[in-house]
Structure 1
Amino acid sequence: MLGGPEVTIVTEGTYPIALGGVTTWVQRLIEHSPNVRFNVLCLAPPGKTEPVVDIPENVRDVVVRELVPRRMGKRRWAARVFPVHRIRWLLGRRGEWAPRGFRVLERAFEYILEGEPLEEEMLKRLYEVSENPVKVLEGPTVYTLARYVEDQLGSDERFSDLYWAVSNVCSFVMGAASGVRHMPECDVAHPQNCGVCGFLCAIRKAVKGTPYIITEHGVLIRELDTRLEGLGDVARELYRRCFESMIETSYRYCDEILAISDYHREHAVKQGAPEDRIDVIYSGIETWRFPPPSDVERKFREADRLHVGTVARVEPIKGIDVFVRMAARVAKEMGHDRVRFHVVGPIDDREHYERCREIVERRGLERVVKFHGSQSPEEILRFYHKFHVFVLSSRSEGLPMALLEAMSTGCPVVASEVGAVPYIVKEGIGRTFPAEDHEAGARALLELLQDPEALLRMSYTATREARRFDVTRMCEEYTRRYAKYAVPDPG
């Protein structure tokens, strides 16, 4: 029987409706925390509501709710049909306008435009007017706020572009406030980002006193800047300030922030996280699923041919082209018959794959470099056991799970210096190189491949170090946090 705290995990477009790193992380947390009863509130994009994972037995309730109020979709459609001055009139005719809600939003925008955290009383007011978010956004609300933003920030852009940016910001704010009403009851809330999810939990705490801890999976502002490329200056600045305000609000009222690595902790502090309330719990893997091979010494000491591999999606951010160029340099130095390179993972970007194939063909590497596509977990383990060195050639990463899996199986590592990698790959495990520098990566790889005794020592060290990243240890740390912050039963 479950006797631990009840926790509601809050996600945005990830668990349980989309595959990816956060979904894998949440699934592992739930599965390996048997004494915790979980709920899930997922803020979803329109039309995406079906789970893509099996929901574990210790999950009591799953609520999937669209973040953007339904009628806002009609506004975006109307943008292609009517000029803004007519949209204002058309929207003003629908239903009753909620002037009190407008005044609350107007006051909130004063904070948002400064990128400042919202006061507790303001969070309560947003909750009060969010019962019918569409009604709040009816009438001249968005139009008036857009004119206000235009006056505050100044703009040479088309007013219609600014109008729709303000419309979206209103949707985020009111959608989060409204989402509080659909959040399952719990002792502790656990948002999976410091943006909309954390903002929702800040409102929940202001209204109901529910404590919450934030897990930092990424660098939100940096990711946001990438997504906003192509927008006008004022619209981009508005989105940025909106999320800065949400992040500051999330940080101000949270009980603790838990980063998935030291790298993520450093960036969270730069982003405004209070240093006295942030700690690191490294993400974990199921190390027992990734044991080393039984014949480790023979693998390294008696190899006729050396195998180098990566497990990654074939797309630009994973730097598969860098991996192929490293292969060309190493094969030229060691001979084409002495070494093989393996890419294990789905082709997510056909154009990048074709570019990599072109390099392979131009360099005459058809026998040296092999693309194996998606593989089952059992096959992936067999590849890890085959690799004498695992290469991570990514241009950007957070905390790469494939790296930890490879280490657990006893693979020495050559990895690009991205994300948390420099904190993990030490001298006794492998080598690192500057991202995109295939020459430096090839030199590091050659150094290891030409020293089988060093590879053997690194193999043992890698397996030992990987135990620090066991998922059971991660889940025990989170269970302790849940118990620490759980609201006492008033009965």
Structure 2
Amino acid sequence: MNVLFVHNNFPAQFQQLARFLSQQPGVTVAAVGAQNSRAQKGVRLVKYSLTDVDVSASHPFARRFDLECHRAEQVLYALTTLASSGFVPEVIVAHPGWGETLPLRAVFPKARLIVYCEFFYGTNDRDIGFDSEFPAIGVDGHVALQMKNAATLLALSECDAGLAPTQWQRSTFPRLHQDRISVLHEGIDTAAIKPSQNASFRLPSGRVLSAKNEVVTFVARNLEPLRGYHVFMRALPRLMAERPNAEILIIGGHGTSYGAPPPAGKTWQSIYLEEVSARIDMRRVHLAGHLPYQDYLRALQISSAHVYLTYPFVLSWSLLEAMSAGCLVIGSDTAPVREIINAENGILVPFFDTDQLSKRLIEALAHRERFNGIRTAARQTILDQYDLARTCLPALVAFVRGGETPSELPRFLARAG
């Protein structure tokens, strides 16, 4: 069987699935991705280049789609290279978010096309309009937002099946398409991401923190409002005043992954740090930036309380990884998080309620042993529902093969084992 993955940042969400398939006898795996894609052993990667494209002459509503068409053209060239070498996929797994799916049917019309359904943009019960601190997007903004779905809608009209990582993310898609979208998470490597009482984390200053310290962790790819960075920072003055030994470990970059960019010359990280800096002990606030993966895991393992906040948007892997590491998660009471966190395996607080957040953090630090049961339940949730080796990966492989469904997983596991 020939399998093709298409993702501008390959391997991304397809990392474990592509790796596993490439190791199976009789399976050949290839991938198409942009220049920042990473090679993976056993996977033939064909990269494409998208040079600076001027879309200013296009109508503002159409500029994103124009850019996606330019990207699709480059993907078309990459697909042609694969086809000319004799590689013809029986299955294609592709992310539709950047226009890369547009030429797939034209080049490989007989392939089974699976579209990764990560998120469908909209103005109701999602990230747009959720936070009144930021300006509304207006009518023009609403139209432009809907246009962001154009390539995804075209992909959905042509695909054989869709794949979403969570029930809530599936629910963002039009009802017309939801019946063809299965919910299968990529999975968490629970063997590698697990609790450790012996873990330690070295700060840039050289000081070492461990689980004996009071450590509050916050993780986001980039520190920005969509992931609740502003709410978290505003909870620090009360928290740090009442817990004079608390250490605040913040992991993430100062760029913008989602949502509106900050004012020119500033970062969201600096804006909200400056807002509270005069009221907190900056010696106990550690901005770690982006970390090597093992250092990131050590940070989770020493965490006394882990804060995960998000608008109604794509759920971060970091939440599930924190639970797998046995963290006490204090999360935002927003739809994506409620799907994972309940009263038994974590703590939910209203997204904007900084007083409630600081209060729960203070309780967590003052009475750590009281919350051990929640930590254990968090880990068990991941073991039961999101374990990579036992649940998610076998189900994904069955789904890609097409001959077996997730409901037949026990039979698949028996044969595989």
In the alignment, is residue 429 of structure 1 matched against residue 339 of structure 2? no
Q: For 1:186, what is the secondary structure of its paired residue?
A: coil
Please report how far the alpha carbon of residue 200 of structure 1 lies from its aligned counterpart in structure 2 after TM superposition. 3.1
Alpha carbons of structure 1 residues 198 and 417: separation in structure 2 relative to 1, 3 Å: farther
Instruction: Tell me the residue number matched to 2:41.
Output: 57
Contact 2:252/2:288 (8 A) holds in 1 = yes
Which segments of 5 or more consecutive residues in structure 1 lack a partner in the other structure?
16-22, 80-159, 297-301, 487-491
Partner in structure 2 of residue 212 of structure 1: 113
Bigger radius of gyration, 1 or 2?
A: 1
Aligned CA distance change for structure 1 residues 235 and 178 (closer, same or farther; 3 Å): farther
Q: Alignment partner of 2:40: what SS?
A: coil
Q: Measure the CA separation in 2 of the matches of 1:50 and 1:342.
A: 29
One-letter amino acid of the structure 1 residue matched with residue 214 of structure 2: L
1:44-97 alpha-carbon deviations (Å, 9 max, x no partner):
4xxxx354x2x22221x32233579x9xx5x759x6xxxxxxxxxxxxxxxxxx
1:409-428 map, 5 Å: 409-418=325-334, 420-428=336-344
9, 13, 26: which one pairs with 1:14? 9
1:133 match: none
CA–CA distance in structure 1, aligned partners of residues 396 and 231 of structure 2: 37
Instruction: Give 2:40's aligned amino acid.
Output: P
Q: Using a 3 Å threshold, how does the CA distance of structure 1 residues 343 and 248 change in structure 2: closer, same or farther? A: closer
**1:30 matched to 2:30:** no
Partner of residue 261, structure 2: none
User: Which of 193, 200, 221 pairs up with 2:103?
Assistant: 200
Cα distance per residue 1:201-220 (max 9 Å; x no partner) = 34456xx3211111112225
How far apart are residue 478 of structure 1 and its match? 2.0
- Measure, in 2, the Cα distance between the counterparts of 1:235 and 1:400: 26
The DSSP-based 3-state class of the residue aligned with 2:306 is strand
Residue from 234, 255, 270 that aligns with 1:348: 255
Q: TM-score, normalised by structure 1?
A: 0.64
Going from structure 1 to structure 2, the CA distance change for 1:231 and 1:170 (only over 3 Å counts) comes to farther
Return the offset for 1:443.
3.1
Aligned length: 367
**Aligned pair 1:39/2:22, yes or no?**
no
Q: Distance in 1 between matches of 2:269 and 2:144?
A: 37
Aligned to 1:459: 375
Deviation at 1:258, TM superposition (A): 1.0
Equivalent residue, structure 2, for 1:273? 177
Unaligned runs of 5+ in 2: 130-134, 200-209, 257-265, 405-417
Query: What residue in structure 2 maps to residue 335 of structure 1?
Result: 243
Matches for 1:240-389 after TM superposition, within 5 Å: 240=146, 243-244=149-150, 246-270=151-175, 272-275=176-179, 277-294=180-197, 305-312=213-220, 313-332=222-241, 334-337=242-245, 339-348=246-255, 351-389=267-305
Contact 2:121 2:148 (C-alpha < 8 Å) held by counterparts: no
Q: For residues 231 and 435 of structure 1, do their structure 2 counterparts lie closer, same or farther at Cα, with a shift above 3 Å needed?
A: closer
Secondary structure in structure 2 of the residue aligned to 1:390: strand
Contact 1:397 1:420 in 2 (8 A): yes
Amino acid at match of 1:286: D
Which is richer in helix? 1
C-alpha spacing 1:434/1:234, structure 2 compared with 1 (3 Å) = closer
Shift of 1:368: 3.6
The separation in 2 between residues aligned to 1:409 and 1:355, in whole angstroms, is 31
**What's the counterpart of residue 175 of structure 1?**
73
In 1, Cα distance between equivalents of 2:68 and 2:97 = 18
In structure 2, the CA distance between the partners of 1:173 and 1:243, relative to structure 1 (3 Å rule), is: farther
Report if aligned partners of 2:253, 2:290 keep a CA contact under 8 Å in 1. Answer: yes
Report if aligned partners of 2:61, 2:144 keep a CA contact under 8 Å in 1: no
C-alpha distance after superposition, 1:364-419 (max 9, x if no partner): 32244322233322322222121111111334541211111111111110012346
TM-score (norm 2): 0.74
Assess, with a 3 A threshold, how the Cα gap between structure 1 residues 14 and 417 changes in structure 2: closer, same or farther.
farther
Alpha-carbon separation, structure 1, partners of 2:365 and 2:167:
30
CA, structure 1 residues 447+66, in 2 after alignment: closer, same or farther (shift >3 Å)?
A: same
CA distance in 2, matches of 1:376, 1:176: 32
Contact 1:6 1:37 in 2 (8 A): yes
Output the aligned Cα RMSD. Answer: 3.9
